A and B are shown apart, each in its own frame.
Chain A
């Protein structure tokens, strides 16, 4: 950024003695535009020394995926996006047969169990119940009086959502892959942490009378930002960052207008 051509140095008019060829005599003053010395790059130093970067929703060390950052004035948009309370989508991979103390496969082993009785149908039944109880929590934490007609209309459209602080809520779960002992779930959630998702995998194992650990947590969508908008490690350079900001600007603006009015 600093290598990019910056602002041209300011100029001002100074009255300098005219270069005269002779010796002594009357020296005239000539008005000359000269660059201000204070604007010289060697005096001024690099234009940008610090960059304000803010982070969006947290992503812990063992997880991967979309991580939203705000640069400079974009940090204000970050708080607005947080107040929109949009759902995030994760792909969570799990493994049956083990239970560890921190619910992931790198933790200390607590117990090993059999898992040959588990079928995809049983897993889907448990997921349906999880969805049901979380849907109930969605309605309850939204702080809307359920006895009003507006609450009914919002519930019909499926737009009831907690717009304030709430415990983690899962809005939708779906089983993407099931190959014993591994399975993969797609989870849409609000206000969650990745450790909470690992705990959910552990509890699914317990419900199925076995045990499960979480092998992978990957965020594939965070509000309006999807995997396609995300920059890879090889793309962490100025040009791609600028392109990415430009592409997402419109999306973020429309989403903020829609939700916050």
Chain B
């Protein structure tokens, strides 16, 4: 009757035939609050992640791409027509890996990634391979030849006795050689051996490229727990707290009391004899060691005032104790021209030459200078931020806080800092990484970081 009345009111309008007239249908108007609430309750609930979802482990890389050290082939050889070769990756880029990477190391133009797994493939390498520092990478086009540049993470075949039981603990890379530490089968070395840095006798006129030779080192006083590569020398730290060295010694970086090359790992004495060393570090030609009591010892190149606090000479070939009164030292890292240490209280000290991190006015210092914690995000609002780890590349530094933030500073060589800007940073600058940074490895012109996702 309501519809009929409506149609009756519209005089002069032709009424539609009875079949087309709607019944007492209500006009659609704005929905009332009750309708809205009911619609909301009836809406489906989406679940994106479950209650016990684990945080994912990721690897991020950035820096110079043309050497292939970043492990992304499309940066060097684009796979699609519209992509252009990328010379520098200025911000962190995610690298897809098959396994969880537990240790990474950046050398001079190449990278090694290793996983803690028991599978057959434990170590992957990418980048420069002209001295077989990544082992023999068989070329797919010619089965007899090897690749000179490896553009994506390729497995490195290790001559293990028990490949399905041994685990790889740590990897380290130098200028043209690399060291792989396993838990039960000693240390494997590959790459250039012209100075004996691989721990085997120097063979004259040996061609290192496309070489299948991987040397195994087992003769130490106890199990090796840390391996470190300097530019052309290798350092091994054993469980008993002793340090062994081999390789080039012209700057005294082997610390054995002479300036010749050593081709067999030999134990160091000097001020560290009898001291329980808990960490060793080197990247250029200077070396630092930290003892369990918080003392730091140094040897090697001192042209940039790295060891000027104890001696005026520019080369030190015996480990010397560095008497710094800055507190108990937890961790040390050596770069090409600058050194950095982290104390138990969480303070960061730098010394040496170059961009040290205290503004453009501080270029060189022989005595450690502290970097104010406010530059790492410490403030009255966040009083419990501490630096947890320090790392060093050839001319830049990196610091990791306990909140998982990464700070970098130093010379921005080919975008190695990863901040997105091409200029050098004279004080610590945050790197925006989509995750919590667990560890970082610094190279000459690239960096690799192991990151845990947020959720």
Top 10 A-B residue pairs of the complex, sorted by shortest distance between their CB atoms: A152-B359, A209-B48, A209-B49, A114-B47, A112-B45, A149-B359, A156-B372, A172-B381, A149-B361, A117-B51
Q: Which of A92-149 contact B (CB under 8 A)?
A: 97, 109, 111-114, 116-117, 122, 125-126, 128-129, 131-133, 135-136, 139, 146-149
The answer to whether A113 and B432 touch (CB under 8 A), given A125-B454, A158-B379, is no
Contacting residues, chain A, for B331 (C-beta < 8 A):
none
Whether A132 pairs with B430 at a CB distance below 8 angstroms is yes
Distance in Å: Cβ of B153 to nearest Cβ of chain A:
27
A152 with B358: CB separation less than 8 A: yes
For A111, the chain B residues whose CB sits under 8 A away are 43, 46
Q: Is the beta-carbon distance between A209 and B455 smaller than 8 angstroms?
A: yes
In chain B, positions 409-445 with a C-beta closer than 8 Å to chain A are 423-427, 429-430, 432, 434, 436
Q: Which of B43, B49, B426 contacts A117 (CB 8 A)?
A: B49
Most chain B CB atoms below 10 A, which of A112, A132, A158, A172: A132
> Is the Cβ of B375 less than 8 Å from the Cβ of A156?
yes
Can you list 25 A-B pairs with a CB-CB distance of less than 8 A?
A: A109-B39, A109-B43, A112-B44, A113-B47, A114-B46, A114-B48, A117-B455, A122-B454, A125-B403, A128-B404, A129-B454, A135-B430, A136-B429, A136-B432, A146-B425, A149-B361, A152-B358, A152-B359, A152-B361, A156-B427, A158-B379, A174-B381, A188-B381, A207-B454, A208-B455
B53 lies within 8 A of A153 (CB) = no
Q: Which residue of B lies closest to A126 (CB)?
A: B454
A155 at the interface (CB under 8 A from B): yes
Tell yes or no: A258 within 8 A of B by CB. no
Contacts of A156 in B (CB 8 A): 372, 374-375, 427
Please name all residues of chain B whose beta carbon is closer than 8 Å to the beta carbon of A209 when the two chains form the complex: 48-49, 53, 455
User: Is A184's beta carbon under 8 Å from chain B?
Assistant: no
A49 contacts partner chain B, Cβ-Cβ < 8 Å:
no
* Pair A116/B51 contact, Cβ less than 8 Å: yes
Q: Is the CB of A112 within 8 A of B455?
A: no
CA A64 – CA B40 in complex, angstroms?
A: 27
Q: How far is the CA of A113 from the CA of B46 in the complex (A)?
A: 4
**Contact A147 B374, CB 8 Å, known A114-B47, A152-B359, A172-B381:** no
**Is B404 a contact of A113 with CB atoms below 8 Å?**
no
Asked if A210 CB lies within 8 Å of chain B CBs, one says yes
Q: Mark A166-188, 1 if CB is under 8 A from B, else 0.
A: 00000010100000000000001
Specify which of B403, B429, B454 lies most central, judged by the most chain A CB atoms within 10 Å of its CB.
B454
Given contacts A136-B432, A146-B423, contact A155 B405 (CB under 8 A): no
Interface check B377, CB cutoff 8 A: yes
Asked if A246 lies at the interface with its beta carbon under 8 angstroms from chain B, I say no
The distance from the CB of B55 to the nearest CB of chain A, in whole angstroms, is: 9
In Å, the complex CA distance between A188 and B164 comes to 54
Q: Is the CB of B455 within 8 A of A207?
A: yes
Residues of A within 8 A of B382 (CB): 131, 172
Cβ contacts under 8 Å, A149 to chain B? 359-361
Check A157 for interface membership: any CB of B closer than 8 A. yes
Once the chains are docked, how many angstroms separate the CA of A151 from the CA of B423? 15
**A129 → B minimal CB distance (Å):** 7
Cα separation A131 to B432 with both chains bound (whole Å): 11
Cα A148 to Cα B382 with chains together (Å) = 27
Cα of A147 to Cα of B429 in the assembled complex, Å: 12
Contact of B423 among A109, A125, A147 (CB under 8 A): A147
Cβ < 8 Å to A, chain B residues 372-388: 372, 374-375, 377, 379, 381-382
Least CB distance, A214 to chain B, in whole angstroms:
17
Min C-beta distance of A229 to chain B, whole Å: 22
Query: A residues within 8 A CB of B358?
Result: 152
Please, which residue of chain B has its CB at the minimum distance from the CB of A153? Answer: B359
Q: Tell me, in angstroms, the Cα distance from A122 to B48 when the chains sit together.
A: 15
Q: How many angstroms from the CA of A136 to the CA of B377 in the assembled complex?
A: 11
Tell me, rounded to whole Å, the shortest Cβ–Cβ distance linking B30 to chain A: 12
| A112 B43 Cβ-Cβ under 8 A | yes
Task: Give the complex CA separation of A7 and B51 in angstroms.
Answer: 75
Given A112-B43, A125-B436, A128-B405, A147:B426 Cβ within 8 A = yes
Interface string of B169-194 (1 = CB under 8 A from A): 00000000000000000000000000
Assess the B427–A155 pair: CB atoms within 8 A: yes
Give CA–CA (A208, B44) in the complex, Å: 19
Q: State which of B52, B374, B426, B436 has its C-beta within 8 Å of the C-beta of A157.
A: B374
Q: Look across to chain B and name the residue whose beta carbon is closest to the beta carbon of A171.
A: B381
Chain B residues positioned under 8 Å from A139 (CB to CB): 429
Query: Who on chain A is nearest to B46 by CB?
Result: A113
Query: In the assembled complex, which residues on chain A have CB atoms less than 8 Å from the CB atom of B427?
Result: 146, 151-152, 155-156
The answer to whether A117 and B53 touch across the interface, beta carbons within 8 angstroms, is yes
B48 engages A113 (CB within 8 Å): yes
Whole-angstrom distance between the Cβ of B71 and the nearest chain A Cβ: 25
Contacts of B424 in A (CB 8 A): 147
Task: Give complex CA distance A147, B423 in Å.
Answer: 9
Complex CA gap A114/B49 in Å reads: 8
Complex Cα–Cα for A126 and B435 (A): 9
Are A210 and B372 closer than 8 Å at their CB atoms?
no
Q: Is the CB of B454 within 8 A of A146?
A: no
A148 to B361, CA, bound (A): 8
Residues in B whose Cβ lies below 8 Å from that of A157: 374
Q: Tell me the A191-213 residues at the B interface (CB within 8 Å).
A: 207-210
B46 near A112: Cβ-Cβ < 8 Å: yes
Chain A residues contacting B51 (CB-CB under 8 Å) are 116-117
Shortest distance from the beta carbon of A11 to any chain B beta carbon, whole Å:
63
Closest beta carbon of chain A to B420's beta carbon, Å: 9
Check B426 against A152 for contact (C-beta < 8 Å).
yes
Which chain A residues lie closer than 8 Å to B430 at the CB level?
A: 132-133, 135-136
A113 touches B426 (CB 8 A): no
A109 in complex: contacting residue of B40, B53, B374, B379, CB < 8 Å: B40
Interface hub of B44, B49, B404 (most chain A Cβ within 10 A): B49
